[in-house]
Amino acid sequence: MSSGSPWGSPMRAPACMETQLGAVRYRRDNTMLLSASSLNSRTWGGSIWVFKDPTEAPNESMCTAGVQTETGVADVAWVLDRGILVASDSGAVELWELLDNESLLVNKFTKYEHDDVVTTLSVFTGGTLAVSGSKDFSVQIWDLSQKTPLKSYRAHSSQVNCVSACPGKETIFLSCGEDNRVLLWDTRNPKPAKSINFCTPNVSPTYVTWHPNKDDIFACGDEMGNVYIVNVSTPESAAAVASHSRSITGLAYSSHSSPFLASISEDCSVVVLDADSSEIFRDQSHQDFVTGVAWSPNDLSSFTTVGWDHKVLHHNLPKADKPESPAETQE
């Protein structure tokens, strides 16, 4: 901690965290990244926070670093070990870096390439490229090493709800939007976007995420609360699992050899499906929209959710439902 702060927090960390928690992300060493936003009069304010000990969140005095952002924060992502990418309500994509023994967040760039709220972003495996999506209907590819935008695409006819970079593939990603479409992108192609049809007609997909071990499978959630596991070769075979009663706000795969899928929703519930899409866990402790979910890298059967109720909840799967870890399976 930096000296001179009456709360014991770094000097530049805000004194107070906004009410509505947004995204939550874990670094490989279990350090937690958290975003928060709230409406002040007519404008949204936001902040990002780093906690070495996730169990201390959302206690501002126990953060490692934190910073106030220009406007509300819609999404965040780790960039390698010290970088943090931020999707801003202002239309900006911001890159921050942890310095001074990770007690200080310093802005490396703020770029206004979108014309409306940046709703979503995802960093490719190598950590030098990223993709963002916006209410302006566009997706934007970024070169983070050069701190510059590379290419803008406008294939959606309404706002982009979510983007997801394919693990291990630097040119392939997914996007979904309010135009009721999921698009599979390969930026090597002259026409990079291809529609993947599996959702119920006139229902908007709200979230997409790739399977961690298979580059032909992804999960998708929609505004009706359905979860789909989709094979890109046979998308028509994807069946809806009615996990929630309202819109899906997030999905996250665990790191198991046969990963579990956690889903969160505006119905305030948290659900985990096993590899056969059977429900093995449900929690309704949140009292408002659940907005962020991430699996712990330290404990494969533990994951964290955050929500507009300002709660950070750490969930543990029942022992009977804990699968073997990849290391245990190999043995």
pLDDT above 90 covers what percent of the chain? 87
Print burial letters for 12-29: b (CB count within 10 Å at least 16), e (below 16).
Answer: bbbeebbebbbbbbbbee
pTM: 0.91
Q: What is the pLDDT of residues 23-74, one digit of tens each?
A: 999 999 999 999 999 987 777 899 999 999 999 999 999 999 999 998 999 9
pLDDT score recorded for residue 163? 98
Domains of the chain: 6-72+94-105 (no CATH), 73-93+106-315 (2.130.10.10)
pLDDT score recorded for residue 326? 41
Q: In Å, how far are 13, 21, 62, 187, 267 from 5, measured between CA atoms?
A: 9, 24, 12, 47, 39
Q: Once rounded to an integer, what is the mean pLDDT over residues 285-312?
A: 97
Residues in the chain: 331
- Output phi, psi for 205, to 5 deg: -75, 140
Q: Once rounded to an integer, what is the mean pLDDT over residues 10-17?
A: 71
Q: What is the pLDDT of residues 186-204, one digit of tens each?
A: 999 999 999 999 988 899 9
pLDDT score recorded for residue 169? 96
Q: How confident is the model at residue 323 (pLDDT cuts 50, 70, 90)?
A: low
CA–CA distance, 31 with 62 (Å, rounded to integer)? 13
Q: Is 61 helix (H, G, I), strand (E, B) or coil?
A: helix
Q: What is the pLDDT of residues 23-37, one digit of tens each?
A: 999 999 999 999 999
- Output phi, psi for 11, to 5 deg: -55, -35
Above 70 in pLDDT, residue 329?
no
Q: What is the pLDDT of residues 130-183, one digit of tens each?
A: 999 999 999 999 999 999 999 999 999 999 999 999 999 999 999 999 999 999
pLDDT score recorded for residue 201? 87
pLDDT score recorded for residue 200? 84
Q: How confident is the model at residue 243 (pLDDT cuts 50, 70, 90)?
A: very high
User: What mean pLDDT is reported for the chain?
Assistant: 92
Q: In Å, how far are 160, 225, 290, 307, 308 from 244, measured between CA atoms?
A: 22, 4, 12, 16, 17
Q: What is the pLDDT of residues 200-226, one digit of tens each?
A: 889 999 999 999 999 999 999 999 999
Q: Once rounded to an integer, what is the mean pLDDT over residues 266-292?
A: 97
Q: What is the pLDDT of residues 252-275, one digit of tens each?
A: 999 988 999 999 999 999 999 999
Q: Once rounded to an integer, what is the mean pLDDT over residues 233-262?
A: 96
